[in-house]
Amino acid sequence: MPGRLPLTEQLTALRSTLSRNEVLTDVLTRAATLELPGWYLTAGCLFQTVWNVATGRPPAAGIKDYDLFYFDDTDLSWEAEDAVIRAGKAVFAGVPGEVEIRNEARVHLWYEEKFGVPCPPYESTEAAIDSFAATTCCLGVRLEPDGEWRVYAPHGLSDVYNLVVRPNPVLAPREVYEAKTRRWQDQWPELTVLPWPGRIKDDPCG
């Protein structure tokens, strides 16, 4: 099992596994050409590719979108973010999947209205990844100019490989975690979903 390998070998296994999703590798290559500050391909397209490979499904099965995060706090206007999104539409034209581009420096401006809890301003893309509803989701990959993969995985990779979903009660409310995990278990019934911790179930900020 890759989840029991030393970390360096887990990283090698991760690249090998993700590379089986040709849509993902195409998005990575195209994303690099945008040269966005602090960018990562992140969230479901990564861990769900691992789940698919681990359970014998086609690598891209059930993946609805490819999340591309970047961080630019020099201009927090919607117009600036929209310009990047429109540039991305041209770059990702023809990709058989939706690529969602978001400036994580702007999340605090709309998060509370959408999810019902305030979000402090992030200081980096990594900080945004840290706040995902499940630790299993906290994973980001980008292609460096020299062709190497930069992997951000603050909680390691063992849960991803072992199909374990663990709550991360630092920002997203309990209902967000539970809605996501119900949807994931419908698609991947092999998952082990750990419950939201009861002692802080009513405190979405942890």
The tens digit of pLDDT for each residue in 63-78 reads 989 999 999 999 999 9
Arithmetic mean of pLDDT, 151-177 = 93
Helix 7-18 to helix 44-54 angle, to the nearest 10 degrees?
90
For 10, the token pair is 């887990």
pLDDT in tens, 79-136: 999 999 999 999 999 999 999 999 999 999 999 888 888 999 999 999 999 999 999 9
Domain range list for the chain: 2-200
Provide long-range contacts, Cβ within 8 A and 24+ apart, for 128-132.
128/69, 128/71, 128/104, 129/40, 129/42, 129/69, 129/154, 130/154, 130/170, 131/168, 131/170, 131/171, 131/172, 132/43, 132/168, 132/172
Write down the pLDDT at residue 147. Answer: 86
Closest CA to 44 of 132, 150, 172: 132
Query: Which strand ranges, in their side-by-side order, compose the sheet holding 140-143?
Result: 98-103, 65-70, 40-42, 140-143, 149-152
Neighbours of 51 (CB within 10 A): 26
**Cβ 170 vs Cβ 135: under 8 Å:** no
In whole angstroms, give the CA distance from residue 189 to residue 100.
26
| Residues 5-57: tens digit of each pLDDT | 566 777 888 999 999 999 999 999 999 999 999 999 999 999 999 999 999 99
